[in-house]
Amino acid sequence: MEFWLPVLPPSANRLWRQGKGRIYPSREYADWRHAMTLYAKRQVKELISVPYKLTITAKRPNKRRDLDNIIKPLNDLLAKLGAVANDNLCEMVTARWVTTGDGVAMLLEKAGVE
């Protein structure tokens, strides 16, 4: 299954906030997650409820951005969309920055026997 999102997620460093004795999604993360859920819902073709592998390619917005900080919110979004039963089924992630295009492309595949 392939997905394309027009906007990178916030950095994993900015996903959560703490206050009044609880941890909650930051406004930036909540807004991104809501918008991308609406955008990508129609891209879901099936529910993967077995181990899977995820390939991510994204256009780097600036030299300071860490690649590994986009993995968690993207994997969580796949679970929220109903593309995967649970993101703990992810057995392999490949991610890389690219110099062309915009946004984020993801390829979601059932994991094979390795």
User: DSSP secondary structure string, 51-107?
Assistant: -EEEEEEEE-S-TT--GGGGHHHHHHHHHHHTSBS-GGGEEEEEEEEESSSSSEEEE
Place of tokens 């899977």: 52
Using pLDDT thresholds of 50, 70 and 90, give the confidence band for residue 106. very high
pLDDT confidence of residue 114: 60
pLDDT confidence of residue 101: 86
Q: With 80 as the cut, is the pLDDT of residue 107 above it?
A: yes
- Positive or negative torsion for Cα 85, 8, 25, 66: positive
- Mean pLDDT estimate for the chain: 93
SS3 10: coil
Domains of the chain and CATH, by start: 2-110 (3.30.1330.70)
Average pLDDT over residues 72-97: 96
